[in-house]
Amino acid sequence: MQASSIEGVARATTKKNALRLLLLPLVILAGMGLSVEAGLLGPLGVQVGHLWATLSIFGVGSAILYLLLLFSGPQKGPALTDLPRWQLIGGFLGPMYVVVLTLATPHIGIAMTMIAILSGQVGKSVLIDHFGWFGTARKRVNGERWIALALIVAALVLIARG
């Protein structure tokens, strides 16, 4: 390899690591937002009904997304009708997640709801990575990932008992 090629690879690696460092706190903040959302949705669901609470959350979210799309300029990519139908399953999963969140939070608490959600998310994510489902790059499950998953399940058990 030439020196310029090595420098290019090093710069690309540095950029990728910088992006990871930037995205990680953002994702953690988004996760914190889910806990706040659960805290808001539980009482709202009790007051107006779980489905109305879910609809209100998605209505506000849709309005905000519409404004973002309106002011962000043209979007590139295929039309929604050109996508494989299975990729639109998220449109079903999102509301189901929020309905379950709205139903569960008042009964089992925010911490228990969030750690249970985290257990499910990480467990399924490990499988998706391992098998490369949905067109993702395969990332085999190693011992460290199994330990991490076991620790999350242990946290679920400890919070359930506490």
List pLDDT tens digits, range 72-88.
988 887 787 888 888 88
**Mean pLDDT value of segment 119-146:** 90
Largest CA distance in the chain: 67
| Structural domain boundaries, residue 10 | 1-158
Q: Name the token pair of 119.
A: 């257990």
The pLDDT of residue 5 is 66
pLDDT at 116: 92
* Count of domains observed in the chain: 1
Q: pLDDT at position 7, please? A: 66
Picking from 27, 26, 40, 25, the residue whose alpha carbon sits closest to that of residue 110 is 40
pLDDT at 22: 87
Note the pLDDT tens digit of each residue in 135-149. Answer: 888 999 899 989 999
- Please give the DSSP secondary-structure letter assigned to residue 83: S
- Which residue matches tokens 């879910």? 54
